[in-house]
Structure 1
């Protein structure tokens, strides 16, 4: 087959041999991982199951920039690895966590998002059962901890303009554990101009959260809520065997709302299957344990 030549009369082999990779500036590339879990909170009394809490894994930065602040686990991508390979490696190196569910979320490329140099990062989301993990910070981090996370939209405005309109949403983000409290205010603007929609995210306030990770976290939580409504992703947060009450609590803490027991069980019926096992809950009779239906295929009919 005749080889095609470019405008300079070069074959592909000749072109690649002469190619100079320094012709264009090359930004650094990193990955950042949102590791979510749902854990038991304090138990009010022996007759009730402990409340569930959505938690996010964070690491305390041990070096500049933003030394002493808390960041998402992550780091730089090596030249010989894919983005996903880098995310899995960094997660293992920084927190001792591996072999978990992970999906790519979004790529963040604001020019000034990092003080060191031009850095583009791709965020990932992982969902884990925290009872199976042994989190441990490595030498690059001062600490690694779970934070209870709350993210609520406290204001929404629709502002018309000459070309269309803008929908502004303001989020309060709070991360807390026994020793640390972190917070941020993030503004998300959806700009509508005819058939074109653009999204702009801004950090208005940030206390204790490194880089632009506050808006990455807000985006991840919103994505988690959507995935919980439409897929079986929630099952990565719980043990293989669970009660329907426990499962409902996990959905409630993610969606941020109370669910009617009868409606929840009707909607979840085709997603789970009964087992012949039971668990004893305080002063109540033993509860039947369920598991994810192995024949279940993700659909749009959960919530």
Structure 2
């Protein structure tokens, strides 16, 4: 016996008369925050290199936000999930597959895209820079890796009768090829006995498209949190690396220097020593190479 609803309709009858057009539907996009760690010449020692955190941006070649820099991404197709769309966009932009890919958050502020109602499902990807082949998409003029700087500028706490509101102001700076993009982002954390909420607002923006400064800030916060409690930073490393290289990656992610003892305590169970060493040169001594301890993955 078929079940009938309050109007006496079976499910088949209900679907036959259902009109999806009665409800306005949004477009859905998958936007990617793609991080990598690259080597640059260090100014403190001849022949030495230092790690820097970079993220991938594309310069828009069409309206809206013509000429501004945006996160790589695109609209989700009817025959794919947001996860599949994100993986497709990642491969199209960088040429890599099978890398760390994590959904961050859904961004759905009204008016975030001047074209129409667009909801963005954002993702964070971590890739080894040695595997990357950049390919600007159809709607992009160029693609480039931008060095990331994200610093706390101001913090304010307001105590409630039960709970508190913490407001932090961060400065985001992105640099590539002599070009600098900047934004100021406000993070508001409200804590009560029964709930905790985190909201982001862009106070100023110079050069970034849409609300992508907010998405980038959220991704950096997530990466920092997971670096503190997991071995996620190892996904940015080559198969073999020195302790100094790994410590540099931790420090550029966290935005602060780490005492060696603190760093070693964080990574001791995550890595294992090999019997290999770096090549000794005139300027750099030989150093032992390490690899990920997959037993603790």
TM range (shorter): over 0.9
Report how far residue 139 of structure 1 moved: 2.6
Structure 2: how far apart are the matches of 1:48 and 1:181? Answer: 27
Q: For the residues of structure 2 that align with 1:160 and 1:284, how far apart are their CA atoms?
A: 52
Specify the alignment match of 2:232 in structure 1.
233
Q: 2:131 maps to which residue?
A: 132
Aligned residues of 2:107 and 2:121 also touching (Cα < 8 A): yes
The residue number in structure 2 matching 1:121 is 120
Displacement of 1:184 after TM fit?
A: 0.4
Deviations 1:257-302 (A, max 9, x none): 21222332243221111222221253344212111112114xxxxx
Match status 1:253 vs 2:252: yes
2:288 aligned residue: 288
What SS is found at the alignment partner of 2:98? coil
**Which stretch shows the higher mean deviation, 158-167 or 59-68?**
158-167
In terms of mean alpha carbon deviation, does 239-248 or 205-214 score higher?
Answer: 239-248
Structure 1 CA distance for aligned equivalents of residues 275 and 228 of structure 2: 28
Q: Which residue of 2 aligns with 1:21?
A: 20
Correspondence for 2:208: 209
Determine the structure 2 residue equivalent to 1:274.
273
1:92 aligns to what? 91
Please list every run of 5 or more consecutive structure 1 residues that lacks an aligned counterpart in the other structure. 298-303
How has the CA–CA distance of structure 1 residues 68 and 3 changed in structure 2, closer, same or farther, with 3 Å as cutoff?
same
1:182 and 1:242 map into 2 onto residues whose CA distance is: 31
Q: TM-score, normalised by structure 1?
A: 0.91
Name the SS of the counterpart of 1:295 in structure 2. helix
Matches within 5 A, 1:1-303: 2-44=1-43, 49-160=48-159, 165-282=164-281, 283-297=283-297
Offset of 1:47 from its aligned partner?
Answer: 5.5
Q: Which runs of 4+ in 1 moved over 6 A?
A: none
Q: Distance in 2 between matches of 1:221 and 1:256?
A: 10
TM-score, normalized by length of structure 2?
Answer: 0.93
Unaligned 5+ runs, structure 2: none
Cα deviation digits, residues 28-74 of structure 1 (max 9, x gap): 11011000011112233656631211111000001101000000000
Q: Which moved more, 1:201-210 or 1:94-103?
A: 94-103
Greater alpha carbon shift after TM alignment, 111-120 vs 252-261: 252-261
- Residue in structure 2 matched with residue 300 of structure 1 by the alignment: none
Give the conservation status (yes or no) of the 8 Å contact 2:41–2:48: no
1:162 deviation in Å? 6.9
